């Protein structure tokens, strides 16, 4: 039982970590940025390069990978999305461009590193630490700490700072925020930078636990989409709840039916939930909070 609870906790943390970037960008820009799957992949491989090729220590490599992902996100936002946002009806174009960016990042990494499975972790697999009767590996423990810290910092930044106020204003009504003198584009760029950095962090941290290959970006994107579907336009609290619900679902389905069907069942249940009551996502659209 303890192990099941620990597994749910670990899976929740993974869902939250992966979903943070996509969900944050979606909340503010109202556009699904599929390229976050690419940022996740880029973060993982950048950490691998910094760690293995430039022989940096793991924490420094992860930090450098996060910075690189944030930089890439900023470039994509400034060079591509910004131009498209000038058009009156740009949602479709941004989604398609983000798909294009995802394909470009994935195939570039595929070309550079081939489809070989690699590992970021430099240590041999060791039995996890025994915490309250459940085994948790040290990387899982680290991930939990990081997610907890990020969620608190993120909530504080959005709720208690001037920048957060501007972000909420742009998320609620971009045009009105612009009229009120808030630099809309600057806020969106800052959100893209933070979102992409978070996706890069997710990629590099997850790669400590799971082997990496060029397909991990798409796999992560599935999880991020699931969390975003369930959390909708809401903030960190809803994202955490969505992550926990999906983790429970995944663990229960994995344990009782089959691990093979966990994604199918999770997606089906989420779609069914939204189908039955789609309004629960949109009803409080104006209450976009951190």
Partner 1 sequence: MIYLVHILNMAIIFSILALSLNLLSGYSGMLSICHAVFYGFGAYSAALLTSNLSLPWILVIVLVPIAGAVFGLTVGRAALKFKGDYFVLATFSLQIVFSNVVENWSSLTGGVIGLSAIKPPSFAGVTLGSPQSFLFPLAFVLGVTVFVVHRISNSPFGRVLRGIREDELFCLSLGKDVISYRRCVFAVGAALAALAGCMFSAYRGYIDPTSFSIQESIFILAIVIIGGRASLLGPIAGATFLVVLPEVLRYIGIESSVAAIVRQLLYGIVLVVIILYRPQGLLGEHSAGSSGGMNK
The residues binding partner 1 (CB under 8 A) are: 26, 30-32, 80, 83-84, 87-93, 95-97, 99-104, 106-108, 110-111, 218, 222, 225-226, 228-229, 258, 260-261, 263-264, 267-268, 270-271, 274-275, 278, 281
How far, in Å, CA of 248 to CA of 269, rounded? Answer: 12
Q: Measured from the CB atom, is 104 or 145 closer to partner 1?
A: 104
Q: Measured from the CB atom, is 37 or 290 closer to partner 1?
A: 37
Read off the tokens for 100: 């294009």
Q: Measured from the CB atom, is 1 or 175 closer to partner 1?
A: 175
Closest by CA to 15, choosing from 229, 285, 215, is: 229
Q: Measured from the CB atom, is 201 or 227 closer to partner 1?
A: 227
Minimum distance from residue 171 beta carbon to partner 1 (Å): 14
How far, in Å, CA of 15 to CA of 132, rounded? Answer: 23
Q: Measured from the CB atom, is 18 or 205 closer to partner 1?
A: 18
Q: Are 7 and 251 in contact (CB under 8 A)?
A: yes
Minimum distance from residue 93 beta carbon to partner 1 (Å): 5
Minimum distance from residue 96 beta carbon to partner 1 (Å): 5
How far, in Å, CA of 115 to CA of 247, rounded? Answer: 29
Strand (E) or helix (H) holding 32: none
Minimum distance from residue 229 beta carbon to partner 1 (Å): 5
The residue to which tokens 């609620």 are assigned = 172
The residue to which tokens 């969900």 are assigned = 23
Q: Measured from the CB atom, is 99 or 134 closer to partner 1?
A: 99
Give me the DSSP letters along 98-136: HHHHHHHHHHHHHHHHTT--B----S---PPEEETTEEE
Minimum distance from residue 163 beta carbon to partner 1 (Å): 25
How large is the C-alpha radius of gyration of the chain? Answer: 19
Minimum distance from residue 7 beta carbon to partner 1 (Å): 21
């Amino acid at each position: 039982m303890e192990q099941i609870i620990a597994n749910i906790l670990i899976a929740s943390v993974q869902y939250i970590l992966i979903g943070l970037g996509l969900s944050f960008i979606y909340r503010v820009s109202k556009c699904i940025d599929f390229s976050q799957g690419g940022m996740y992949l880029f973060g993982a491989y950048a950490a691998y390069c910094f760690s293995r090729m430039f022989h940096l220590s793991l924490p420094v490599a992860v930090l450098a990978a996060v910075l690189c992902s944030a930089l890439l996100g900023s470039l994509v936002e400034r060079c591509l999305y910004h131009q498209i946002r000038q058009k009156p009806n740009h949602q479709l174009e941004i989604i398609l461009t983000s798909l294009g960016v995802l394909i470009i990042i994935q195939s570039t990494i595929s070309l550079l590193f081939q489809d070989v499975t690699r590992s970021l972790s430099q240590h041999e697999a060791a039995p996890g630490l025994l915490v309250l009767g459940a085994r948790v590996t040290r990387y899982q423990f680290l991930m939990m700490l990081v997610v907890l810290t990020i969620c608190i910092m993120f909530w504080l930044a959005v709720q208690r700072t001037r920048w957060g106020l501007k972000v909420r204003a742009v998320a609620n009504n971009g045009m009105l925020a612009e009229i009120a003198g808030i630099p809309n584009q600057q806020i969106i760029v800052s959100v893209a930078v933070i979102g992409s950095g978070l996706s890069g962090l997710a990629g590099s941290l997850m790669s400590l636990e799971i082997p990496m290959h060029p397909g991990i970006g798409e796999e992560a994107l599935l999880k991020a989409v699931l969390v975003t579907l369930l959390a909708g336009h809401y903030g960190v609290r809803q994202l955490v709840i969505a992550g926990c619900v999906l983790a429970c679902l995944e663990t229960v389905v994995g344990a009782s039916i089959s691990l093979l069907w966990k994604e199918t069942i999770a997606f089906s249940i989420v779609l069914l939930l939204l189908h039955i009551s789609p309004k629960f996502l949109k009803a409080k659209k104006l209450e976009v909070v951190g």
